[in-house]
Structure 1
Amino acid sequence: MTAPNELRLLPWSGPDGKSCYLSTDGRGGYMSRLADNIEAVQLCSAAELLEQAHGILDEQDATLEDKQRLAKELTEALRNVLRVATSRGHLLAVSEQREPAY
C-alpha cells in the first residue's frame, strides 16, 4: 500500500462531488488501468470539443443557446483536463522523489 501522500487522484468524483483517490502499489492494477483509460478518453473528448468550439464560435448563425451549451461543455472538459493534469503532475513528483539523485 502506498503512503497517504502517494494516493492517485482518479479522473472522476464521488456521488457527493468529492475527489476520489486510489491507494495502490503499482500502476498495473485494474483500477489504475481503468483510470488511465478514462483519462485518455477525457483528453481526447476535450480536444474534439475544442475543435467544435472553433466552428461554433466562428458560425454567424450560432444561437445564444448553442454558445451556452458550448460554455457548459467546455467547463466540464476543462474540469476533467485539470483533474488529469493534477493527477499526472502528482505522479511525476512522486516518481521523481523515488529516483536517486546522481
Structure 2
Amino acid sequence: MTDHDELRLLPWSTLDGKPCFLSTDSAGGPLSRLADRTETAQLDTGAALLEHAVEVIADTETEPEELLLLTTALTNTLRDTLRIAESRGHRLPTPSTTPDGDHEEPRLPAAAFG
C-alpha cells in the first residue's frame, strides 16, 4: 500500500468514465510502472499541446472549427493533468507533528517532482 494506506488513482478511467484504482504493496510493480509511464506520456502531450495552442491563438486567421478542436483537446489534457496531480498528491508523505503540535514540512526526494 501507499504511505497513506490508500488506493492509487490511475491515469485512465473505465470505458464508462469511472476512475480506476490500484491496490498494491509494491510501488514498483508492473501496473505501477505502466501508470508512471502513462502519466509521463500524458504530461508530455499536454506540454506539446500547450505550445501548439499558443501558436493557434496567435494566428489571427484561425478558423472557429480549429479553435473548437483545440479547446476539446485542451479540456481532455487538463482532465488528465488534474487526475495526475490528485493521484500524486495522495501519495505524498504525511507531515509528521512536532512536540509543540506544529507540522514539519515534508521532505521529498527530487524524483518526486517528475
Indicate the percent of aligned positions where both proteins have the same amino acid.
46
Question: How big is the shift at 1:100?
Answer: 8.5
How big is the alpha-carbon RMSD for the aligned residues of Structure 1 and Structure 2? 2.1
1:64 corresponds in structure 2 to: 64
> Which residue identity lines up with residue 18 of structure 1 in the other structure?
K
Structure 1 residue runs of 4+, over 2 Å off?
Answer: 2-5, 99-102
Structure 2 gaps of 5+ residues are 99-103, 105-114
Question: How big is the shift at 1:96?
Answer: 2.4
1:37 corresponds in structure 2 to: 37
1:54 corresponds in structure 2 to: 54
- How many corresponding residue pairs? 98
Question: How big is the shift at 1:5?
Answer: 5.1
1:19 corresponds in structure 2 to: 19
The structure with the largest helix share of the pair is 1
TM-score by length of 2: 0.79
Rounded Cα–Cα distance in structure 1 between residues aligned with 2:87 and 2:40: 13
1:86 corresponds in structure 2 to: 86
Question: How big is the shift at 1:60?
Answer: 1.3
Rounded Cα–Cα distance in structure 1 between residues aligned with 2:15 and 2:71: 23
Q: Which of structures 1 and 2 has the bigger CA Rg?
A: 2
Structure 1 gaps of 5+ residues are none
Rounded Cα–Cα distance in structure 1 between residues aligned with 2:83 and 2:75: 12
TM-score by length of 1: 0.88
Rounded Cα–Cα distance in structure 2 between residues aligned with 1:83 and 1:35: 12
Rounded Cα–Cα distance in structure 2 between residues aligned with 1:64 and 1:37: 34
